[in-house]
Amino acid sequence: MSTGALDPLIHDPERLRIVATLAALPDGDPLSVNRLQDMIGLTPGSLITGLRELDDAGYVRTGKTGGRTAPAAVALTRDGRAALDRYTAVLRQLPPVARQDDQPPAPGVRAGDADRDAAAAALGEHFAQGRLTRDELSARLDVTLTATTHGELSQVAQDLPGPDGVPGPGQLSRGKRARPWHKPGPAPGQGTWQHHRGRTPGRSS
């Protein structure tokens, strides 16, 4: 797995339910285990098992442990809360979204006037620096100014380097495959999770 993995200790549905329920309490507030059981609807057996596993990891602190007696109260620890925060952060990153700012538009994406102007300006710079003859410049400008897609624009500058830190359109896509599914629009890091989240406002409480 590339980016952070989902903490398996929290990802288990029963433990996830326990941790989420405890996390809704004010920091450090203990909850009676009976009450927790009512809220979650787990069998006492799976609740105790889940609590023990979380306790072993230091994610929760149970009131009365040791021996066979069931704990009376339980609270989320600071570690537990941090682990849950990391867990939800990983969830929000799903799926791995390409960052808008370092991805060139896909070749098939339509180009606008601003794109054509930028490409033409880059060609002018190449001419000024002696990389293109006047005839080549004029031929390429014709193509550039009538280009309809980003693919056509990058084609024109394919054999040209980026002049003085201003990369030509061809530079941007070199070595990186454009991602066809990546539509311009959503901000970087806007994954499915957040997308779904935004679709139903007023759900959180």
Site residues for other proteins per CB under 8 A:
1-2, 5-6, 8, 11, 13, 16-17, 20, 23-24, 39-41, 84-85, 88, 91, 94-97, 180-181, 183, 191-193, 196-197, 200, 203-205
Rounded to the nearest whole angstrom, what is the least distance from the CB of residue 145 to other proteins in the complex? Answer: 30
Smaller CB separation from other proteins, 5 or 72: 5
Smaller CB separation from other proteins, 73 or 91: 91
Rounded to the nearest whole angstrom, what is the least distance from the CB of residue 45 to other proteins in the complex? Answer: 16
Residues present in the chain in total: 205
Whether the CB-CB separation of 192 and 94 falls below 8 Å is answered with yes
Q: Which sign, positive or negative, has the C-alpha torsion 157, 128, 148, 181?
A: positive
Rounded to the nearest whole angstrom, what is the least distance from the CB of residue 96 to other proteins in the complex? Answer: 6
Q: Residue 149: how many CB atoms within 10 A of its CB?
A: 16
Q: Is the peptide bond before 95 cis (omega within 30 degrees of 0)?
A: yes
Rounded to the nearest whole angstrom, what is the least distance from the CB of residue 72 to other proteins in the complex? Answer: 21
Whether the CB-CB separation of 53 and 18 falls below 8 Å is answered with no
> In 3-state terms, what secondary structure has residue 77?
coil
Smaller CB separation from other proteins, 1 or 114: 1
